[in-house]
Amino acid sequence: MSDTTAHRAIDAVWRIESAKVIAGLARIVGDIGQAEDLAQDALLVALEKWPETGVPDNPGAWLMATAKHRAIDLLRRHKLLERKHEQLGHELDARQDSTVPDLDAALDDDIGDDLLRLVFTACHPVLSTDAQVALTLRLLGGLTTDEIARAFLVPEPTIAQRIVRAKKTLAEAKVPFEVPRGGELATRLSSVLGVIYLIFNEGYSATAGDDWMRPALCVALMEIQASRARARVGPGGEPVLLLDQDRARWDYVLIRRGLDALARAEALGGAAGPYAMQAAIAACHARARSGDETDWERIASLYDTLAQLTPSPVVELNRAVAVSFARGPAAGLELVDALASEPSLKKYHLLPSVRGDLLAKLGRADEARVELERAASLTRNARERELLLSRAAVLSGH
């Protein structure tokens, strides 16, 4: 196996398995920062060995076993192994589970529960919302600091520092690695749902790589958005934009479930928050049987409200797109140009992409081509880069 092939395989395995490995290790050592370090150590061993030996039949189990042995060595060095044996023994007695005869098996138990513990720990209220999101995207989403930084529209060192401080804060506060119970569970669930949606958003439109996608109100929003997944990619893996999609390929079961969830939330008085606004916007698209039937005036109005609830340059850019469809490209371009000096959008490829589209609609082909080429130079997603360059090439022929 070549080094390149092995490294690609290792990267894919890490994306899939890292959260489970870190979660299992966190239950052993009781510290998610230390758990991530141990998992990274196992990854380094894989990078050394797999190019020579090949990828194991069960690479996730290999990573877990390697990291677990290092964790046990760490506990032994810190004279905590005996205490951990006793703790796990009490847990096993309480469960009356005679099928787990040794420490190794106990450490492998309850992978699903460990992932749940990990997300609640990463979303602990001792952390700021930004820190919760960044840490969860890192530990459970398997994203690099660069990918998280692009999603946040902030410099990569800022995200790296945010994650380091978050892990240090959790350790200093001695936050237990557990799922909250009773009233505490209800109060902490909303932040977890918010983080889950942001992870979904990264998966729905990948910030980097070769793939266009990585296959309550939060639930309603995710189901409606996910309903378009099959139509967003063409036969060759190329991205297909919303108005060009074959709507017969949308999943109308997911749409119906999402709309029903939205209706229930609205009936319970939950129609005024940011998730409700985003779900309502998604519902406008889902209800339209064609692009021409889309209620762009309502979408523009919903973005007006969303911009007041959660002010953001990205929301303003989306609002400009909606306004361009509702009131014409000139009106949209005026709003886009107002965002040109926004520092956080300086390297955001969708700003020149949207501007290029609007300029093309106004017949300003040369300016549009320059903007689309600039957008292509900024995106880290290979498929999207190809799409932008092909659109720019079309304009070159005018």
pLDDT digit string, tens, across residues 24-33: 999 888 899 9
CA distance 265 to 261: 6
Judge whether 336 and 317 are in contact, CB under 8 Å: yes
Residues 6+ apart with CB under 8 A from 278: 221, 306
- pLDDT over 80 at 151, yes or no: no
Q: What is the pLDDT of residues 74-122, one digit of tens each?
A: 877 766 556 655 665 555 555 444 333 344 443 444 445 888 899 899 9
Return phi, psi of residue 207, to 5°.
-80, -20
**What is the predicted pLDDT for the residue at 271?**
60
pLDDT of residue 101: 37
- Give percent of the chain with pLDDT exceeding 90: 41
- What is the tens place of the pLDDT at every residue in 33-47? 999 999 999 999 999
Confidence label for 192 from pLDDT (cuts 50, 70 and 90): confident
Instruction: Specify whether the CB–CB gap between 24 and 111 falls below 8 A.
Output: yes
> Can you give the pLDDT at residue 305?
93
Of 19-28, 78-87, 131-140, 154-163, minimum mean pLDDT range: 78-87
Phi, psi of 87 (to 5 degrees): -60, -45
Q: Full-prediction pTM beyond 0.75?
A: no
Residues 6+ apart with CB under 8 A from 115: 19, 20, 23, 140
Tell me, what's the pLDDT at 372?
96
Say what the pLDDT of residue 203 is.
Answer: 47
75 C-beta neighbours (distance < 10 Å), count: 18
Contacts of 316 (CB under 8 A, 6+ apart): 307, 335, 338, 339
Q: Which pLDDT score is estimated for 100?
A: 38
Which superfamily, per CATH, for 312-398? Tetratricopeptide repeat domain (1.25.40.10)
Encoded tokens for 292: 């021409």
Which one-letter amino acid corresponds to residue 47? Answer: L
Q: Domain residue spans in the chain?
A: 1-115, 123-175+186-204, 216-294, 312-398
56: pLDDT strictly greater than 60 = yes
Q: Give the pLDDT mean for 263-287.
A: 79
Structural class in CATH, domain 123-175+186-204: mainly alpha
Please report the pLDDT score of residue 90 as a whole number.
Answer: 59
